[in-house]
C-alpha cells in the first residue's frame, strides 16, 4: 500500500470513509447472514484496492448483477424481502455497493446519509452503552467525511476535518438533549430493541440439568432497589413459572384456574423498584410475594396475577422495563381446605421412577410418621437430604429415563432442580399436593450503586407443598444440602472465561472491582437513558412548575424551545454576516501595505497575481515581497488552510521593511 504522504487526497479520503463504514457495519455481523457479512467485507476491500491503485470503478452491469445476487440471497435466507431482518440485510449490502459508485460529490452525499441511517439500524438490536458509544464514533466519522467532501481545495488534514465535525456535533448536542427529554415516547418506537432477548434463566418448562446449565451465565437478569432495609438473603426469592405437570421427563405449567390467587399478607410491606432485562417469557419474576393489590403498573402492557402467583404478561418481555411494586415476605396463599383443583398437584406419570415411589411410601409407613401431616412429612424429607450423603454440584452429569430414581437413590449428586423435583415426586407419592417453583434466589453480596444485582446464575428451583389449614408452604431442599446457597443467597461460581479467569487468577480483587465499575456505569446508562419514560417526562415538567402535565404541555415546551432556538440561530446568522473571513482580513491588510509601497492591487487579486505586480512595480528590490506572497499563495491554495498561518506575517513584514516606503 502507498505511504500516506504519497497517497492522493481522493484515495486517502476514500479509505477513511471505507473505514468508517466498516466500523458502522461491524455490529451487524452478529445479526445478518454470514454471506452478507462476507459480501460486505469483500466489497469494502475491493473498493479500497481500487482507491489505492487509482483504478477505474466497475461498470453498472457489475453492480446490477451484485444487487440481484444480494436480493436473491436475502430472499433465500429470510424467505422474504420485507421486515426488519431482510430490510437490514439489504441496507448493509446497498451501503457497501454504493461505495463502488463514488464518482461525484452527489454519490458521496448519498453514502453519507445512508451511513447515518445504518447507524440507526444498529439500535434496532441493542441500545446498550457499548453500542451507543460505537455509533457515536460512527457519527463523528461520517461527519468528518462529510466535512472533507466540502473542502475541495488542497489537502486538508484529517485531524482538522475531525475537529470541525466534533464542533458541529457539540453544537447539535443541545438539540439532541432537548428532543430526548421532551419528544413524546411511543411504545412501538421506544420498545423496538431486543437487548439480550431470549436470554433468561427461566423457562415455562424444566428438565433435569437445565437450570444447572444456566448457572454458568453471569449476565444480569434484574436489578432491585428497596425503600429502606432489604430483606435478608434467605428471603430473596423472585417467583417465576410454577411447574405442576410431570410426564416423566419434563415439568410444565398447568393451565390457570378462574379461582384467582387467594392471598393473605402479614406484617409490613417492602417497597421496591426493579429493572428487568429482556427475556423470552411472558411473565415477571417479582419478589415473593407481590400481591395483586400492590403489583406494578406498566404502560402498554396487560398483566395479571395467576392462581399459582405467577405474574403473567400478555406477550414476551422483549425490552428492558422498570417497575415499582410492594412485597410481603410473610404471607399465606392457597386454599385452606381440600378442593378438586389440588388433585392436579398430586398426579405422577405411571411407569416412571418406581423405586422412589416405593421409597416414599415406605417412609410414610414408618411408625413415627403414621398419620403425619404434610408439614411433618416434608420435614422428614429435608432431614433425609441433609443426612443422606447428597452433594450439590453444577456438573452432576446426565441421568437416564428414571432420573429421579438414579439421583435420589444412587448417585445423589445434583443441582437445585434435582432436589426440588425429587422432593415433589416423593411428596406426591405420599399423597401430598406439591409443585416446583422456578425463579431466582439471592443477589450479589453487596449492592452496586444502590441496586442489588440478580444474575442468571441465581436461577433457582424450589418446592411448595400444601398443608391443610395453612395453604401452600415453601420448602427448599437445596438449603438442607447447601445452606450457604440460600442463607447467603450465593450461587456456585461458574467456570470463568479466559480473560476473566486470567485477571481473577492474578488479582481477584481487581477482577471484582472492574466488573463492579462496569456494571455501575451500565446501570446508570440504563436508568438515566433507556428507562427514561413518559412518566419521567411528566415528572420533569412537574419539577419545572407544571401542576398536571400532559401531552399538550410537552408540545408547548417543545414549541417554545424550538422558537428560542430559531431566534438564537437567526441572531447568530445576522451577527455572522458582519464577520469577515480571516483570509479576507489578511488580504485587505496586505493590500494596504502594498499600496503604501506604491503597488496598486485589488481585492480580487490572488497572492500570486500580487507577486507579479510587485515585481513589475518594484523590480529586483521587491523580490523578497514577491517570494513571501507566493508562499502565501501556496498556503492558501496548496495546503487549503482554514485560517492563515501565524508564521507568515513576520516574514512578510521583514520584507516590507527591506523595501521601505517610496
| Mean predicted lDDT score pLDDT of the chain | 81
- Residue 461: what are its φ and ψ, rounded to 5°? -130, 135
What pLDDT digit, counting tens, does each position of 225-263 carry? 999 889 998 889 999 999 999 999 899 999 887 665 688
Q: What pLDDT sits at residue 192?
A: 44
- H/E element, 61: helix 60-78
pLDDT at position 472 over 60: yes
Which of 628, 621, 627 lies closest to 586 in space, CA to CA?
628
> Strand 303-305's sheet: what is its strand order?
283-284, 311-313, 303-305
Out of 37-46, 150-159, 166-175, which region has the weakest mean confidence (pLDDT)?
150-159
Comparing CA positions, the residue from 142, 161, 45 lying closest to residue 96 is 45
Condensed to tens digits (0 to 9), the pLDDT of residues 500-511 reads 455 455 556 776
Asked whether residue 539 carries a pLDDT value surpassing 80, the answer given is no
- Mean pLDDT over 566-571 rounds to 78
Structure confidence by residue, pLDDT tens digits, 262-281:
888 998 999 999 988 887 78
Mean pLDDT of 463-479: 93
Question: Is the full-model pTM beyond 0.95?
Answer: no
For 340-354, the pLDDT digits (tens) are 889 999 999 999 999
Query: Does residue 540 or residue 601 have the better pLDDT?
Result: 601
Query: Taking a C-beta distance cutoff of 8 angstroms, is the pair 461, 509 a contact?
Result: no
Q: Among 448-462, 509-523, 599-613, which stretch is predicted with the lowest mean pLDDT?
A: 509-523
More confident residue, 609 or 4: 609
Residue 172's pLDDT is 77
The residues pairing with 454 across neighbouring beta strands, listed in sequence order, are 222
The least confident of 183-197, 330-344, 422-436, 445-459 is 183-197
Q: Helices marked H in 434-507 — which ranges? A: 478-481, 483-487, 498-506
Cα–Cα–Cα angle for 74, 79, 85, rounded to 5 degrees: 60
Q: Does pLDDT of 8 surpass 60?
A: yes
d(CA 424, CA 264) in angstroms, rounded, equals 24
Mean pLDDT of 182-188: 61
pLDDT band of 577, cuts 50, 70, 90: low
Amino acid at each position: 500500500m502507498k505511504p500516506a504522504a504519497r497517497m492522493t487526497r481522493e484515495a486517502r479520503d476514500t479509505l477513511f470513509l471505507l473505514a468508517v463504514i466498516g466500523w458502522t457495519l461491524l455490529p451487524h455481523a452478529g445479526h445478518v447472514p454470514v454471506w452478507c457479512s462476507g459480501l460486505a467485507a469483500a466489497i469494502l476491500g475491493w473498493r479500497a484496492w481500487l482507491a489505492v491503485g487509482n483504478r477505474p470503478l466497475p461498470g453498472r452491469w457489475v453492480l446490477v448483477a451484485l444487487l440481484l445476487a444480494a436480493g436473491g440471497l436475502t430472499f433465500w435466507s429470510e424467505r422474504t424481502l420485507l421486515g426488519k431482518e431482510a430490510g437490514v440485510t439489504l441496507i448493509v449490502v446497498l451501503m457497501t455497493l454504493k461505495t463502488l459508485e463514488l464518482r461525484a460529490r452527489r454519490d458521496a452525499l448519498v453514502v453519507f446519509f445512508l451511513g447515518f441511517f445504518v447507524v440507526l439500524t444498529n439500535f434496532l438490536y441493542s441500545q446498550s452503552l457499548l453500542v451507543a458509544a460505537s455509533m457515536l464514533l460512527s457519527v463523528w466519522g461520517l461527519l468528518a467525511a462529510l466535512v472533507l467532501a466540502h473542502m475541495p481545495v488542497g489537502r486538508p488534514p484529517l485531524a482538522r476535518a475531525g475537529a470541525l465535525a466534533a464542533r458541529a456535533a457539540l453544537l447539535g448536542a443541545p438539540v439532541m438533549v432537548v428532543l430526548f427529554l421532551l419528544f413524546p415516547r411511543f411504545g412501538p418506537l421506544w420498545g423496538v430493541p431486543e437487548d439480550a432477548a431470549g436470554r433468561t434463566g427461566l423457562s415455562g418448562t424444566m428438565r433435569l440439568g437445565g437450570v444447572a446449565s444456566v448457572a454458568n451465565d453471569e449476565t444480569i437478569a434484574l436489578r432491585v432497589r428497596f425503600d429502606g432495609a432489604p430483606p435478608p438473603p434467605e428471603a430473596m426469592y423472585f417467583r417465576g413459572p410454577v411447574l405442576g405437570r410431570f410426564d416423566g421427563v419434563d415439568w410444565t405449567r398447568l393451565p390457570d384456574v378462574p379461582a384467582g390467587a387467594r392471598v393473605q399478607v402479614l406484617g409490613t410491606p417492602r417497597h421496591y423498584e426493579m429493572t428487568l432485562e429482556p427475556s423470552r417469557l411472558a411473565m415477571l419474576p417479582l419478589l415473593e410475594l407481590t400481591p395483586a393489590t400492590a403489583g406494578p403498573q406498566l404502560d402498554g402492557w396487560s398483566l395479571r396475577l395467576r392462581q399459582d402467583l405467577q405474574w403473567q404478561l400478555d406477550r414476551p418481555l422483549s425490552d428492558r422495563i422498570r417497575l415499582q411494586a410492594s412485597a410481603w415476605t410473610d404471607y399465606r396463599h392457597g386454599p385452606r381446605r381440600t378442593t378438586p383443583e389440588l388433585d392436579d398437584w398430586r398426579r405422577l406419570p405411571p411407569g416412571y421412577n418406581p423405586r422412589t415411589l416405593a421409597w416414599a411410601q415406605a417412609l410414610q409407613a414408618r411408625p413415627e410418621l403414621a398419620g403425619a401431616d404434610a408439614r411433618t412429612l416434608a420435614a422428614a424429607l429435608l432431614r433425609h437430604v441433609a443426612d443422606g450423603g447428597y452433594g450439590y454440584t453444577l456438573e452432576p452429569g446426565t441421568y437416564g429415563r428414571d432420573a429421579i430414581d438414579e439421583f435420589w437413590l444412587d448417585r445423589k449428586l445434583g443441582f437445585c432442580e434435582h432436589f426440588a423435583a425429587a422432593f415433589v415426586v416423593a411428596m406426591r407419592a405420599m399423597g401430598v399436593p406439591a409443585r416446583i417453583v422456578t425463579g431466582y434466589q439471592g443477589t450479589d453480596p453487596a449492592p452496586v450503586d444502590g441496586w442489588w444485582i440478580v444474575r442468571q446464575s441465581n436461577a433457582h428451583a424450589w418446592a411448595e407443598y400444601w398443608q391443610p389449614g395453612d395453604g401452600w408452604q415453601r420448602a427448599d431442599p437445596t438449603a438442607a444440602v447447601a445452606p450457604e446457597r440460600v442463607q447467603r443467597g450465593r450461587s456456585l461460581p461458574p467456570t470463568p472465561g479466559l480473560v476473566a479467569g486470567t485477571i481473577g487468577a492474578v488479582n481477584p480483587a481487581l477482577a471484582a472491582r472492574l466488573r463492579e465499575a462496569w456494571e455501575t456505569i451500565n446501570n446508570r446508562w440504563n436508568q438515566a437513558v433507556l428507562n427514561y419514560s413518559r412518566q419521567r417526562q411528566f415528572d420533569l415538567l412537574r419539577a419545572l412548575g407544571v401542576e398536571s402535565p400532559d401531552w399538550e404541555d410537552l408540545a408547548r415546551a417543545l414549541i417554545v424551545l424550538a422558537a428560542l432556538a430559531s431566534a438564537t440561530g437567526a441572531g447568530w446568522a445576522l451577527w455572522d454576516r458582519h464577520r469577515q473571513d480571516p483570509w479576507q482580513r489578511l488580504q485587505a491588510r496586505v493590500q494596504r501595505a502594498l499600496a503604501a509601497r506604491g503597488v496598486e492591487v485589488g481585492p480580487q487579486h490572488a497572492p500570486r497575481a500580487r507577486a507579479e505586480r510587485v515585481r513589475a512595480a518594484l523590480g529586483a528590490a521587491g523580490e523578497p515581497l514577491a517570494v513571501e506572497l507566493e508562499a502565501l499563495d501556496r498556503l492558501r491554495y496548496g495546503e487549503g488552510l482554514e485560517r492563515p498561518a501565524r508564521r507568515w506575517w513576520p516574514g512578510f513584514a521583514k520584507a516590507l521593511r527591506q523595501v521601505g516606503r517610496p
